Amino acid sequence: MAAVAPRIFVSHLSGIAVFDPNGDQVGRVRDLVAMVRVGRRPPRLLGLVVELSTRRRIFLPMTRVTGIESGQVITTGVLNVRRFEQRPTERLVLGEMLDRRVRLVETGEEVTVLDVSIQQLPARRDWEIDRVFVRKGKGGTFRRKGEALTVDWSAVDGFSVEEHGQGAENLLATFEQLRPADLANVLHHLSPKRRAEVAAALTNERLADVLEELPEDDQIEILGKLKEERAADVLEEMDPDDAADLLGELPEADKERLLALMRPGDAADVRRLMAYEDKTAGGLMTTEPIVLRPDSTVADALARVRNPDLSPALAAQVYVCRPPDETPTGKYLGTIHFQRLLRDPPYTMVSSILDEDLQALSPDAQLPEIAGFFATYDMVAAPVVDEGGSLLGAVTVDDVLDHMLPDDWREQEFLPHSLGFARAGGTPVPEDVTHGD
């Protein structure tokens, strides 16, 4: 008797590595593609959406999957690197099926989809979605959760009907460990409807981090679908320079309305940045660098550098200024790189180890001058000081790169354009191979 193929729940496949026959990793699973069929026949699993190291998403047909086991996917070794584009008849399993509300055929009771399982058909290379893991009731934060059960695909109804107000709790659980840039890439590839639902389910802080990594059009789209009070809360959580860039793309009336809803201190920082021209040090800087008084110690400085909420670039150095400590500060005295902080005793006064020779940037410095500064001094952040000697903020190298790269750089993959294929231990395949393989 032939052995029954193991059942695999799709939430366990999110993010797992994809390897070629030689053991070389070629990417990670980001979603699964299925085709819902007429009647109550289980959907056919067409393939996997695999994200390459270049962040390009490609389609890997199930016919090229030789095994799914031990937390990894093994392929035949041949990859078509044509960018994945979803077709009208296809459904993204993680992106569109999880959190959907459907009904049990037998009782008509509404249930929420928590997960679905896939299984390979006996003696064939075809895969199907065979089971659905659901929870009874509508759920929600303040509702008592109902009974969870696993049923056959044919026992539920409603997957083929477009749903409004679909939740995102279980989808987000599958991407919980993703960095903001990777989660932003996930959102970018979802439909506008699903993107808005996922954004609504994120915390303000998490959504702010993700927005900073999204293309401008996606930022504006998501912000426009939030209630104004929440949009203002999210803008407060963003880095002031990123919030200023985003607000600068909105109509004047919308911009002023959101600024009025923000906390006065946060709104003042953003307004200050928006007063500078684009692609100048004043327009690129953040107003929240690490500022210390001259009587602070190395121990004080290291305690501030350890703040996990700081980006690596901002944590790379501290700026010593006379009071007040908030930008614009009192007289700027100098900079200390964190490597110098590690070389001196904790009780050392920061005023005694200043780098006073490092040239500060003027807020009116243009992008080429700023880039030249970073290239000349091998720095990852630079102080911005006004004519009166006050520290206004700091420009970080990531902000410089954001404005030097093409506007659509987040949507591009850094692949050699002369290659129409990727080799993963096999023969190259032209880019025009279709999903049907």
Q: Say what percent of the chain tops pLDDT 70.
A: 87
pLDDT for residue 351: 94
Residue 83 has pLDDT above 90, yes or no: no
Q: Confidence class of residue 162 from pLDDT cuts 50, 70 and 90?
A: low
pLDDT for residue 123: 64
Q: Are 114 and 148 in contact (CB under 8 A)?
A: yes
Of residues 383 and 77, more confidence is placed in: 383
Residue 143 has pLDDT above 70, yes or no: no
Beta bridge partners of 113: 134
- pLDDT averaged over the chain? 85
Residues 7-30: pLDDT tens digits?
899 999 999 999 988 889 999 999
Region 374-385: mean pLDDT is 91
pLDDT for residue 45: 92
pLDDT for residue 167: 67
The angle at the Cα of 206, spanning 203 to 209, to the nearest 5 degrees, equals 145
- Please report, as a single letter, which amino acid is at residue 128: E
pLDDT for residue 104: 92
Residues 6+ apart with CB under 8 A from 353: 298, 336, 340, 341, 344
Handedness of CA 80, 84, 85, 86 (dihedral sign): positive
Region 90-117: mean pLDDT is 91
Region 74-91: mean pLDDT is 84
Residue 251 has pLDDT above 70, yes or no: yes
Residues 399-410: pLDDT tens digits?
888 878 776 665
Beta strand 17-19 pairing with 25-35: antiparallel
pLDDT for residue 348: 95
Angle between helices 204-211 and 228-237 in degrees, nearest 10: 70
Q: Six-digit token pair at 319?
A: 């700026």
Q: Kindly report the pTM of this predicted structure.
A: 0.67
Cα separation, 156 vs 177, in Å, equals: 31
pLDDT for residue 413: 53
Residue 117 has pLDDT above 80, yes or no: yes
pLDDT for residue 408: 62
Q: Confidence class of residue 320 from pLDDT cuts 50, 70 and 90?
A: very high
CA dihedral 306, 310, 312, 313 (to 10 degrees): -120
